[in-house]
Structure 1
Amino acid sequence: MFAPGPALLESSARRHLQQLNIEFGEPALAAAATLPALSAQLDQHAAAVRDILEFGVEDSARIPLSVLLDGYVRGLLDHFAEADGIVAGPPRSWPEADWLQLRLAAICQYAAVEPTAAA
């Protein structure tokens, strides 16, 4: 059985996060530049994600941030797809974004400001 190595996992995670950033992160960041309330919401979501990964994942400091974030994203998407049949897509208007759309955009924001995300 083939088991992907750490480098392959990290590379795959980065690709997935880059795609997510194109769909959610960049448009949300552009909208947040003119919408202070949206900026605050994204900051709150990013802080929540940071806390979840830091305090809720055992040995999280030993796992590359991109892998942690990608695992979290995939878990969210699976949960929403199974529970509600929701397939995430960017909102038509960022001031009307739902919880999942805001969380995905905030994950991109968090990944961009963390020094280990660029490594």
Structure 2
Amino acid sequence: MRRGFFVECPLTRLSFDIGHFGLLAAREDPGFTAELDQHAAAVRDSIEGDGLRVTRSSLTHYLHGFVDGCRERDRGYDSVDYDWETLRLLAICRMAKEYGFIR
């Protein structure tokens, strides 16, 4: 295993779960890709706005804070489309892969 990779990393677990359900691979249309790009930009802006670089640690920290916020809102959804929280999680997974934090 490459240095810095470990199975218990929250980014690894989330990406495995997302990949297991095929959520990221299932939608390859340009509109969906554009939405993910916008969410990834928002994540980068948030992390860099705190004066940090995007690292595995800062992205994991963002993920924890985001999930905590989702739990606090605890809303149910009846739409068949992806809600913004799911899109944000998918963008975080894609960023983790693009930055090389996970495989």
Same fold (TM over 0.5): yes
What SS does the corresponding residue of 2:16 show, helix, strand or coil? helix
The answer to whether structure 1 residue 32 and structure 2 residue 22 are counterparts is no
Give the 3 Å change call, closer, same or farther, for CA 66–28 of structure 1 in structure 2. Answer: same
The answer to whether structure 1 residue 85 and structure 2 residue 78 are counterparts is no
Q: Normalising to structure 2: TM-score of the pair?
A: 0.74
Q: State the identity %.
A: 35
Partner of 1:5: none
Instruction: Name whichever structure is richer in helix by fraction.
Output: 1
List alignment gaps of at least 5 residues for structure 2. Answer: none
How many angstroms does 1:12 deviate by? 7.2
CA distance in 1, matches of 2:75, 2:6: 23
CA distance in 2, matches of 1:25, 1:47: 21
How many residue pairs match? The answer is 96
Amino acid at match of 1:36: P
How many angstroms does 1:23 deviate by? 2.3
Give the 3 Å change call, closer, same or farther, for CA 37–50 of structure 1 in structure 2. Answer: same
CA contact (8 A) 1:46 1:107 kept: yes
Name the larger-Rg structure: 1
List alignment gaps of at least 5 residues for structure 1. Answer: 1-9
CA distance in 1, matches of 2:82, 2:10: 21
Q: Superposition pairs for residues 66-85 of structure 1, below 5 Å?
A: 66-82=56-72, 84-85=73-74
CA contact (8 A) 2:36 2:88 kept: yes
- What is the RMSD of the two structures over their aligned residues, measured on CA atoms? 2.9
Q: Superposition pairs for residues 1-119 of structure 1, below 5 Å?
A: 15-24=9-18, 27-33=22-28, 35-54=29-48, 56-58=49-51, 60-61=52-53, 65-82=55-72, 84-86=73-75, 96-115=81-100, 117=101
How many angstroms does 1:48 deviate by? 1.3
How many angstroms does 1:18 deviate by? 0.8
